[in-house]
Amino acid sequence: MKKNKEKKPRKIYKTTIVFIILDAIVAACFFIMYGPFDYVRNLYVTTAMKTMEHKYLAKVFYSDKTIEEIMNSNYFIAIDEDANTDDVVIDTSEKDEYANEYERELLTRENGNDLYKVLDIEVGSSKGYLVAIYDPTKVELIHTKQFNVGTYGERVVTMCDRYNDVVCINGGGFVDNGYGSDIPIGYVIKDNKIIWTPDQGSNFRDNIIGMTNDGKLKLMANATGQEALDAGVKDGMVFGPFLIVNGKELEIVGDPWGKSPRVAIAQRKDGVMMFLVIDGKNYIDGASLRDVVTVLKRYGAYNAANLDGGQSSSLVINGELRNNPPAEAKRTNGRYVVTGWGLQR
């Protein structure tokens, strides 16, 4: 009996410590969410609201009115002009002189590899991968075998292997039925044919990201699939926003989409293509839209577009997933997606 009496105070002591810790955690959360740190609050809300599955996280702490105010003070003004491909003059030869250290880093061939080069970069606290592609005519759209309701897409690793491409990234959005879907959002164009038309019909207009028959990145704002074909688009898909068009940067106010894993495709005026993938964790770490624009401009991007990020972020090189997508996607060697971009061997 004596021993039991001695244990009671210890149990009470341990319980008290647990409650003190929990109180401290709760207090810290309220301080962060409702304290003086506007940046943290805005980052949390904009990041949550721009994901498909995590909008509820913003509503746990904030009212609809507060969320609306935050979203209205963090936005971008879409670029409404098309990329002028006449400005791009393809020159695949290695240069003797460079405009700056970034151009030298990007354009200097590695071990005689005239096909591509991978640069490991840092974006804030996140790791990024910038792939220089020296022959833009070898860039092609990749996609799942078929588009069916109620089925999943394919991992980029699988699509890249099926197309026998050496470097691949994910591409556009898709109808989300949990962990993936085989239904694209928007037009899909492959080999000069529209192989998928959105539910809204062939007159529907959207941002089309395409590659022309002569290897130029064609960004078309508010266009139909047929208009893209008429403009010379060989392969294309829908996503956005456009980050850089004819050298003009996307106008960004605040931090509209927060930080997240990001993927982008871009082209320089000399025709060199760039695939950019930036890692992130749990929709908190990663890159903002402004970060992506900054990196691409640094390396000379003249036209560039944002691609699907988050869990979908995938960079495959020689059959292996090179980047580190978040959570479940990393454990399964990439998320199921519908479209992507690949570099032919």
What are the tens digits of pLDDT across the range 181-238?
A: 688 999 999 999 999 999 899 999 999 999 999 999 999 999 999 999 999 999 999 9
d(CA 337, CA 29): 35
Give the pLDDT score at 73: 76
Summarised one tens digit per residue, pLDDT across range 307-318 is 999 889 999 999
Cβ-based neighbour number of residue 252 at 10 Å: 18
Conformational region of residue 271, where left means phi above 0, alpha means psi within -120 to 50, and beta covers everything else: left
Summarised one tens digit per residue, pLDDT across range 296-345 is 999 999 999 999 998 899 999 999 999 988 776 777 888 899 999 999 99
Summarised one tens digit per residue, pLDDT across range 45-79 is 666 655 545 665 666 667 777 776 777 777 889 99
CB 290 within 8 A of CB 244: no
Angle at 17 between CA 13 and CA 19, to 5 degrees: 115
Tokens in use for 127? 């790791």
pLDDT surpasses 50 at 28? no
Tokens in use for 189? 């164009």
Range with the poorest average pLDDT among 103-107, 146-150, 157-161, 250-254: 146-150
pLDDT surpasses 50 at 2? no
Confidence class for position 31, pLDDT limits 50, 70, 90: very low
Cβ-based neighbour number of residue 320 at 10 Å: 10
d(CA 191, CA 194): 8
CB 172 within 8 A of CB 308: yes
End-to-end CA distance of the chain: 79
Task: Mention every residue, 6+ apart, whose C-beta is less than 8 A from residue 104.
Answer: 98
CB 109 within 8 A of CB 179: no
Give the pLDDT score at 19: 45
Please tell me whether the peptide bond between 261 and the residue prior to it is cis, using omega within 30 degrees of 0: no
3-state secondary structure of 63: coil
d(CA 92, CA 299): 16
d(CA 271, CA 126): 28
Q: What is the pTM of this model?
A: 0.82
Cβ-based neighbour number of residue 335 at 10 Å: 24
* 288 or 152, higher pLDDT: 288
CB 316 within 8 A of CB 157: yes
Using the structure block, give the residue that is written with the tokens 């640069």: 119
Give the pLDDT score at 15: 53
Task: Give the DSSP per-residue string, 251-301.
Answer: EEES-TT-SB-EEEEEEETTS-EEEEEE--STTTSSB-HHHHHHHHHHTTE
Range with the poorest average pLDDT among 138-147, 245-254, 281-290: 281-290
Per-chain mean pLDDT for the chain: 85
What one-letter code names the amino acid at 236? Answer: G
Cβ-based neighbour number of residue 185 at 10 Å: 21
Nearest to 248, CA basis, from 288, 293, 306: 293
Residues of the chain above pLDDT 70, percent: 78
Give the pLDDT score at 131: 98
Task: Mention every residue, 6+ apart, whose C-beta is less than 8 A from residue 195.
Answer: 143, 147, 188, 189
278-308 as b/e, with b when 16 or more CB fall inside 10 Å? bbbbebebbbbbbbbbebbbbbbbbbbbbbb
